[in-house]
Amino acid sequence: MQDIDDPAQTHELAEEQAVETAEDVKTDKTTIEKNTPPKKKKNTAKQYAIRFFIRIGIAVLVISLTLILVLGVYVNHSNSSYPMIKDGDLCFTFKLAKLKQGDVTAFRSGDEIKFGRVVAIEGDTVEIKNGQVLVNGIGLYEDTVYSTSSEGSKIDYPYNVPKDTVFVLNDLRSDTSDSRTLGGIPLSDCKGKVIFVMRRRGI
């Protein structure tokens, strides 16, 4: 090791060592800062309240849109669809369903919501003979046999179901307040297919 007697060289060497030490300290500090996770700010009560009400608002919006566009909820106020739907039952409908023969639907008739079973769709021909419903000349197949009369009908048979309508009959066939009186029910008045019935009376 060579001795350094020159004061100038000694001073220069000391400055170089000081610079290297400062750079080392700076590097260590930068490394520590990178590896140290940032401190999380604590949420205030106001922020929690705002987030809570935003979530409530979003939930209400989603439920509202679902009820408006997808699902319908109606209360039955008659026994026209007895025994499937009884007076006072809460009925849920799927508005996006394409109605077909055999479906039970909710539909608007005047100022009230009624329920009935679709027996024919647009283009079909309906006849009622000897207590039986014929659709396109074929006897209507139903899980439960309902004796159906044309007496009291306000339409002529054979009846051709108009475009964009469905032919609906009450399950309680003695009640003729269905397509026998109203004719084809416009699809625009139909509120969807009944998918669930909640019994509210006699439980």
Series of mean pLDDT values for 10-residue runs along the chain (203 residues): 55 59 56 59 76 84 73 91 91 94 94 95 95 93 80 94 97 93 96 91 55
Number of domains in the chain: 1
Tokens for 106?
Answer: 């909710």
Does the residue 132 lie in any domain? Answer: yes
* Rounded CA separation 150/156 (Å): 9
Does the residue 176 lie in any domain? Answer: yes
| Residue located via tokens 């769709």 | 121
pLDDT for 160 equals 97
DSSP state of 129: E
Does the residue 148 lie in any domain? Answer: yes
pLDDT for 56 equals 86
Does the residue 59 lie in any domain? Answer: no
pLDDT for 166 equals 98
Q: What is the pTM of this model?
A: 0.68
**Closest C-alpha among 112, 77, 69, 110 to residue 93:** 69
CATH code, domain carrying 150: 2.10.109.10
Give residue 99's domain range: 73-198
pLDDT for 35 equals 60
pLDDT for 62 equals 78
Burial 133-163 (b: 16+ CB within 10 A, else e): bbbeeeebeeeeebebebeebebeeebebee
* Rounded CA separation 116/135 (Å): 17
pLDDT for 15 equals 61
* Rounded CA separation 46/52 (Å): 10
DSSP state of 102: T
Does the residue 152 lie in any domain? Answer: yes
Does the residue 166 lie in any domain? Answer: yes
Does the residue 146 lie in any domain? Answer: yes
Does the residue 61 lie in any domain? Answer: no
pLDDT for 1 equals 46
pLDDT for 184 equals 97
